[in-house]
Each structure stands twice: as structure tokens, then as C-alpha cells.
Structure 1
Amino acid sequence: MSIKRFSAAFLASVAAVVGIWAGFFPLSFHEFFPFPGWGWVSRLGPYNEHLVRDYGLSNLALLIFTVWVFRKPTTESLKVLGGGWLVYSSFHFLWHMFHLAAFPIWSRIGAVFSLALILVFSILPMIPERKKA
């Protein structure tokens, strides 16, 4: 499997977990994401069912597109996939970087690492192929 298809599989996995959890179980997502006892979302403000569901269902929309590209990868579709994820994940990453004070140190490290990982996997599908000699 190429790194570009692996990136799509990774991004699809993230979108599926977050999308199903936040979209269909928003209170649980708000209180327990990423693991019980950590409460990353609940540390950022009061519960808002509409906001959490919208976030989850937006991830499910990304999941549909990501799975489609994974199944039928072309140079163009991989670039569009990476671009879409990059727009989404870069703004998500930046927002959280300005709100790290709400977290203890290990949660700060986990948030920065996990959000940066999604950024990296968003960029990989857009890297041009090397010309073969």
C-alpha cells in the first residue's frame, strides 16, 4: 500500500471514530473524548449538543469522500482529498494551539501530537510523485 493510500486509510479511521462518536453520542463525546477521565472537549466549555453533533457529522462527510478516494485513488483525487483535510485540520489545529491552557501537560502533549499527526497525513496525499528515470 502506498503512503498516499495509507494516509487516506488513516484519515478515514480518524473520521469514522470521531464522526460516529460525536455524531451519534454527543454527550459521551463531550464528556469522555479521547478517553474516559481525560475530558478534552468538556474542558473547553459547556455541552452544546448541536455543536458536537455538527462536528461529528462533518467528520462522517469527510469519511465518505476519504473512503471513495481510497477505493479509487487518482493523482487529482488524492490532491483534493489532502487539500480538504488540510483546510479542515489546519484550522482545527490552530484553534486548539490557542486553547491549550485548559489542559494538564500530558493532555497538551497528546492534543498537539494527535492534531499534528492529522496535519501530516493531510499533506502526504498532495506530495507529487517522483519521476522515474
Structure 2
Amino acid sequence: MTPESLKSWLRGGLLTLGTLQAFVSGWQYLFPVSFYNDFPTVRLDPPYNEHLVTDVGGLGLALAAMLFIAAWTRDTTVALTAVTGYLIYAGTHFLFHVTHFGNFSLTEAVGVGTGLGLEVALALLLLYTGRLLHRAERPQRDSLKR
């Protein structure tokens, strides 16, 4: 794969993660009661707390902005930073849910585990792609420093 095609894949993945994050986080921030009542399986979590839901929504919007900026700049260092932050968030979110399926039906548990697992997998793939691209660009960066 050429560096330009790697950049295209990385940009597409960053835009996908950013869009998903912006959708869910915007819903959390702008309509926290609706998110709590209507997002699948959230009603199975502890009691509603508007402050917590809107704070998480705001943090998610910040993360989405970082992913969009990384896609826009096409800078591998920015992309690696944004994806690493997203991976930490997605990984800890996935870990929480897969260890708290007590109130979930089998279908709900599989749905949540699969959806959150796909986010982690996509972030890992983007991290790998960004790292390949970063290595491919190293000779060019080194020659510019001279």
C-alpha cells in the first residue's frame, strides 16, 4: 500500500469514528434524558444522573473534534494521538460493559459487546495504519530536518 492510500484509509477511519462519537455524544449532551431513556441498554445501568450524562457527552464531543481535526490535517502524529486517546476511551468502555452484563438479555449482551468491540477493533486498525504511515514518512521527515 502506498503512503497516499494509507492516508486515505486513515482519514476514512478517523471520519467514521468521529461521526459515530459526535452522534452519540451530541445526543448525550443535548438530550440527556432521551439518551438515558431511549438508547438501547442504557436503561439497564444505574439510575439517571443528568450531570454525569452531559459531562460524558461533552467529553465525547471533544474526542470527536480531535478525530475530525486529525482527519482534516492528515498529519500522522495528530492522527496517532487522536486514535490513541479514542482507543483508551473505547477500550475502557468496552471493558466496563463486558464485565457488567448482569441485567442484560443474551441478545442485548451480544449487541453491546459486538458494537463496542468493533469500535476497539477499528481503533486498533487505525492505530496500526497510522503507525505504518508514520514509518513510511520517516525518511521524508528526516530529510526535511537537514
Q: Which band: TM-score by shorter chain?
A: 0.7 to 0.9
Q: Tell me, in whole angstroms, the C-alpha distance in 2 between the residues paired with 1:17 and 1:74.
A: 24
Write the deviation string for residues 27-80 of structure 1: whole angstroms up to 9, x where unpaired: 00001104xxxxx11111111001111111111001111111111112211211
Question: What is the Cα deviation at residue 124 of structure 1?
Answer: 2.2
* Percent of aligned positions that are identical: 31
Secondary structure of 1:94's aligned partner: helix
- Which structure dedicates a bigger proportion of its chain to helix? 2
Which residue in 2 is equivalent to 1:121? 122
Which residue in 1 is equivalent to 2:140? none
Q: 1:24-63 residue pairs with structure 2 within 5 A?
A: 24-34=30-40, 40-63=41-64
TM-score normalised by length of structure 2 = 0.80
Larger radius of gyration: 2
Q: Work out the number of aligned pairs and report it.
A: 126
Contact 1:82 1:124 in 2 (8 A): no
* Gapped regions of structure 2 (runs ≥ 5): 137-146
Contact 1:81 1:125 in 2 (8 A): no
Name the aligned partner's letter for residue 82 of structure 2: L
Name the aligned partner's letter for residue 118 of structure 1: E
Contact 2:32 2:54 in 1 (8 A): yes
Which residue in 2 is equivalent to 1:15? 21
Which residue in 2 is equivalent to 1:37? none
* Gapped regions of structure 1 (runs ≥ 5): 35-39
Q: 1:73-84 residue pairs with structure 2 within 5 A?
A: 73-84=74-85
1:107 aligns with 2:101: no
Contact 2:36 2:43 in 1 (8 A): yes
Q: Tell me, in whole angstroms, the C-alpha distance in 1 between the residues paired with 2:119 and 2:79.
A: 15
